[in-house]
Amino acid sequence: MWKRLFGVLLSLHLLMLAAAATWYVRLPRANSVASSLPALAPVTSASSGIDVQVGQQAVNAFLAQALKNQPEVGRILANADVTMGNHVWNADIGIRVGTQVVPFNVTFVPTVSNGNLDLHIANAAMGPTTVTSTLINIVQILPLPHYVQFDPGTDSLQIDLSSLPTHSVQLHAVNYSSRQHALTVLVNLATSG
């Protein structure tokens, strides 16, 4: 009797071990995860660079990397998720205020001006409560990264793409297509002096 029970338990144990090994083998590798990110769609340009359509997934991937790798961004934002719409971007963000994270749902109106991306704060809410002026007051006192300026006259965040921390490329915003829900960015290889 005990031999039969031992055999049943051993069989169950081996099945669980096989299932765990199968699960482990099916886990994605680090290089396969990076290759599964959405590709940017290049569009040829008449200038010396390449126009690239930057969609919602690419913006969110950039924000995730900035939160992880840029301490100046991580000191301000705890999280950020952008949804591109017809003429607006809706963002769920968590702003660090002291030791607390304050969640906001912000509606931005994106425009391109002089190669920069301007995000006008059209509306901000905490749950059902509209707190646009509160968010604007908070943004005015935050230590923003060097490539982001706040214009209190237009209630806009001005993102200087040419000052983004990139390696060997220069970025210049061209336009935002509300029909395609994509930002077109001109990418040039940086020339070394």
Q: How far apart are CA 142 and CA 166, in angstroms?
A: 23
Amino acid 44: pLDDT: 46
pTM of the model: 0.70
Would you place residue 45 in the very low, low, confident or very high pLDDT band (cuts 50, 70, 90)? very low
pLDDT tens-digit map of 100-135: 888 999 999 999 988 899 999 999 998 888 999 988
pLDDT tens-digit map of 175-189: 888 888 888 988 887
- Which of 71, 90, 88 lies closest to 80 in space, CA to CA? 90
Beta bridge mates, 95: 77, 102
Q: Where are the domains of the chain?
A: 2-31, 37-189
pLDDT tens-digit map of 11-42: 766 666 665 566 556 656 554 444 445 555 55
pLDDT of residue 141 exceeding 50, the answer is yes
pLDDT of residue 5 exceeding 90, the answer is no
Neighbouring C-alpha atoms within 13 Å toward the C-beta of 42? 7
